[in-house]
Amino acid sequence: MKVKLFLEKMYRQGRIPQAILFYGKEGVGKREMAFELAKAMLCLKKQYPACDNCHSCKLIKDFF
């Protein structure tokens, strides 16, 4: 999964642009990719993929 690796590399290098356009066919997981990146960016443990256990991750999980 090239996109996931690309996003992970960007995150680990701290080189996340101001905006990312997720574009493609319906049903390929664009929303989930965007959601996972946003969750990792807000994760209090600063990890990708996000920990899913910190306060921030729980709030995001409950929101969506």
Instruction: List, as one string, the DSSP characters of 1-64.
Output: -HHHHHHHHHHHHT---S-----SSTTSSHHHHHHHHHHHHH-TT--SS--S-SHHHHHHHHH-
Using the minimum distance from each CB to Zn ion, give the nearer residue, 24 or 45: 45
> With binding defined as CB under 5 A, does residue 7 bind Zn ion?
no
Site string for Zn ion, 15-54 (x = CB under 5 A): ----------------------------x------xx--x
Residues that bind Zn ion (CB under 5 A): 43, 50-51, 54, 57
